[in-house]
């Protein structure tokens, strides 16, 4: 009986020990589970913080970098706009001059000439009212007058274009300050060059743009045509003749044609080979009396 009690007591001790081990084991597992859960919460928190920082960085990037760039791009490039405006103005002026046979205004001294189209006014650029006498140049400042005419037109057109730009910017909330407008037109062998000076400051918030010098060059045969015209007038006024064949041999870019009218007027047609643009002018020099 006593041995049976000892056996039961020993069995009870072992069961108790087993339960304690299980409790300890359960406590360890719980602690491990809590540690894992805590680690996941830390990762989520870190992820949320990083996400907030990324979003904040994107917002700051947009405010201080992207938005000013977009705003600046919306106003357009003033240089491109003004240079196109200048180019268009020069081309329009050139067209009017060529249509008027190298004249910027009304032709008062002319001969009516019927060529490839209806009768047109061809200006007398060199005439003489005395028999046998060489002609006198009627327009010694013609090239300069044409340059000034183009310059005046360009200044008027460009000034209008600047006004359009300023109005457009102001409508978008920009502050504009502009200086005086200065324009200079020069002839080149195959072009007309324009230099434009005007200081402009465009301001909106933290965005500021400054512009000062504008310029463009337009391909044009006008200088070559006027230069050849001037040379012909010189020879006609000095020697009563001009050798167009020899001239074209050394200056092949301009085709020279001459028509002699019944009243001894010489009508010259100058044509640029590349563009086929042309001008006409008339010369009356060393006139012979009727019947001779």
Last residue of a domain, one of 59, 74, 89: 74
pLDDT digits (tens, 9 = 90+) for 139-198: 999 999 999 999 999 999 999 999 998 888 888 888 888 899 999 999 999 999 999 999
**How far is Cα 129 from Cα 10, in angstroms, rounded to an integer?**
155
Handedness of CA 57, 58, 61, 62 (dihedral sign): negative
Q: Which of 22, 39, 74 is the last residue of a domain?
A: 74
Same domain for 40 and 79?
no
pTM of the predicted model as reported, rounded to 2 decimal places: 0.71
Q: Which domain holds residue 50?
A: 1-74
Q: Is residue 290 part of a domain?
A: no
**Res. 33: pLDDT tops 60:** no
What is the rounded average pLDDT of the residues 114-137? 89
Query: Residue 22: its pLDDT value, please?
Result: 45
Could you give the CA distance from residue 246 to residue 269 in angstroms, rounded to a whole number?
16
Is 101:122 a contact under the CB 8 Å cutoff?
A: yes
Cβ–Cβ under 8 Å, residues 280 and 268: yes
Separation CA 161–CA 198 (nearest Å)? 13
Helices (H), ranges, 76-131: 78-99
Instruction: Output the six-digit token pair for 110.
Output: 């002319």
What pLDDT score was predicted for residue 62?
A: 58
In a domain, 292, yes or no: no
């Amino acid at each position: 009986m006593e041995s049976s009690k000892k056996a039961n007591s020993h069995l009870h001790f072992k069961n108790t020990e087993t339960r304690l081990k299980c409790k300890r084991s359960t406590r360890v597992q719980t602690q491990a589970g809590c540690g894992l859960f805590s680690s996941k919460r830390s990762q989520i928190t870190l992820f949320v913080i990083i996400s907030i920082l990324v979003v904040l960085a994107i917002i700051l990037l947009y405010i201080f970098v992207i938005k000013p760039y977009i705003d600046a791009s919306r106003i357009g490039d003033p240089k491109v706009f003004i240079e196109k405006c200048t180019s268009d103005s020069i081309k329009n002026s050139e067209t009017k001059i060529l249509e008027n046979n190298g004249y910027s205004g009304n032709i008062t001294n002319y001969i009516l000439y019927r060529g490839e189209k209806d009768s047109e006014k061809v200006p007398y650029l060199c005439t003489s009212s005395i028999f046998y006498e060489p002609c006198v140049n009627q327009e010694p400042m013609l090239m300069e007058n044409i340059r000034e005419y183009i310059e005046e037109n360009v200044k008027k057109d460009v000034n209008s274009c600047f006004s359009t730009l300023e109005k457009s910017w102001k409508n978008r909330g920009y502050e504009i300050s502009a200086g005086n407008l200065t324009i200079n037109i020069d002839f080149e062998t195959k072009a007309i060059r324009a230099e434009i000076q005007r200081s402009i400051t465009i301001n909106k918030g933290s965005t500021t743009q400054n512009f000062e010098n504008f310029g463009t060059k337009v391909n044009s045969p006008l200088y070559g045509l006027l230069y050849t015209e001037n040379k012909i007038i010189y020879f006609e006024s000095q020697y009563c003749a001009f050798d167009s064949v020899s001239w074209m041999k050394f200056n092949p870019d301009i085709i020279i044609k001459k028509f002699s009218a019944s009243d001894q007027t010489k009508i010259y047609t100058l044509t640029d080979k590349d563009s086929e643009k042309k001008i006409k002018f008339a010369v009356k020099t060393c006139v012979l009396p009727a019947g001779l």
